[in-house]
């Protein structure tokens, strides 16, 4: 992937960088441990620690880098740190890392569990379905199972919900289910069903194109999941997903 395709500029925030000892986390170092560099572009990055934002690294002004967390929210950073810190104390989890640089992709959290390589992508901002598909393909090519998990949305307390286009995409990608991140390594699986409008004096009952009816399933842990191959279908690429094991019988292709 060239810089022209996915270039970003200063103002990026990263939770990890490299120094003379290797990969380090912003939360675990201070300025005396520098200098620090970006693992993607190798340019120097600055350690920033304040009261309002999580500790992070940022590129210098006018730096161009092919990898970016540009526009990443504090909610996103706090979610992936919470997942990482919880996995640190989870038996059986090895090779755990925040923001591991894997070329064209850099998962928020990645680890090995029971012989499976896993990437966690916390989905907060609006991301095109094309980008989700592109990254999902990249993980599959590396034999890594990916879990796309949006943080729990308080609007879910109402059964009538208007999902974003990427939520609908993930719902189909994961065989009719989305794994919303709740806390630590706990996930809340949700299914979307039809939401019916009417009937009224002037029109019969019909299915809403905007709204869905949400159903909450039993909560699960990230380590309750396993890797499953999904066949290419329609606009959905062949994918290796981190998902509940019973769903592997649907569309699996090993």
Give residue-wise pLDDT tens across range 129-168.
999 999 999 999 999 999 999 999 888 887 899 999 999 9
Give CA angle at 24 (20, 29), nearest 5°. Answer: 95
What integer pLDDT is reported at residue 63 of this predicted model?
73
**DSSP labels, 201-235:** SSS--EEEEEEEEEEE---EEGGG-EEEEE--BTT
Between 253 and 28, the higher pLDDT residue: 28
Could you identify the residue written with the tokens 């309002």? 52
CA 197 to chain CA mean position, Å:
33
Q: What are the E-state strand segments in 66-202? A: 93-98, 109-113, 116-122, 145-149, 160-161, 178-183, 186-197
The residues pairing with 59 across neighbouring beta strands, listed in sequence order, are 45
CB-CB contact of 39 with 23 (8 Å): yes
Low-confidence winner among 117-131, 163-177, 178-192 (lowest mean pLDDT) = 117-131
pTM of the predicted protein model: 0.79
Average pLDDT over residues 119-133: 92
pLDDT tens-digit readout, 187-199: 999 999 999 987 7
Average pLDDT over residues 58-83: 76
What integer pLDDT is reported at residue 237 of this predicted model?
96
What integer pLDDT is reported at residue 48 of this predicted model?
87
What integer pLDDT is reported at residue 254 of this predicted model?
41
If we measure between CA atoms, which residue out of 127, 88, 85 comes closest to residue 105?
Answer: 127
Provide the pLDDT confidence category of residue 53 given band limits of 50, 70 and 90: confident
The residues pairing with 46 across neighbouring beta strands, listed in sequence order, are 58
Between 246 and 37, the higher pLDDT residue: 37
In terms of residues, how long is the chain?
254
Edge-to-edge strand ranges of the sheet holding 44-48: 22-25, 16-19, 36-37, 44-48, 56-59
Average pLDDT over residues 213-228: 96
Provide the pLDDT confidence category of residue 66 given band limits of 50, 70 and 90: low
Average pLDDT over residues 39-56: 82
């Amino acid at each position: 992937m060239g810089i022209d395709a996915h270039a970003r500029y200063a103002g990026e925030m990263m939770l990890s960088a490299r120094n003379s000892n290797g990969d380090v986390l912003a939360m675990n170092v201070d300025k005396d441990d520098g200098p620090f560099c970006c693992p993607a572009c190798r340019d120097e990055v600055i350690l920033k620690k304040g009261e309002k934002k999580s500790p992070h690294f940022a590129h210098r002004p006018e730096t161009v880098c092919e990898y970016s967390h540009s526009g990443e929210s504090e909610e996103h950073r706090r979610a992936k740190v919470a997942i990482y810190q919880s996995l640190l104390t989870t038996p059986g989890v090895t090779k755990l890392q925040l923001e591991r640089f894997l070329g064209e992709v850099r998962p928020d959290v990645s680890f090995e569990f029971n012989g499976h390589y896993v990437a966690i992508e916390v989905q907060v901002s609006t991301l095109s379905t094309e980008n989700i598909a592109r990254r999902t393909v990249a993980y599959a090519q590396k034999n890594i199972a990916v879990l796309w998990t949006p943080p729990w949305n308080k609007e879910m307390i109402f059964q009538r919900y208007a999902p974003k286009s990427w939520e609908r995409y993930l719902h189909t990608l994961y065989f009719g289910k989305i794994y919303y991140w709740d806390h630590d390594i706990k996930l809340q699986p949700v299914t979307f069903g039809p939401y019916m409008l009417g009937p009224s004096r002037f029109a019969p009952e019909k299915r809403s194109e905007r709204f869905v009816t949400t159903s909450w399933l039993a909560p699960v842990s990230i380590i309750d999941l396993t890797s499953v191959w999904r066949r290419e279908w329609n606009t959905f690429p062949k994918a290796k997903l981190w998902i509940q094991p019973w769903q592997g019988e649907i569309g699996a292709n090993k």
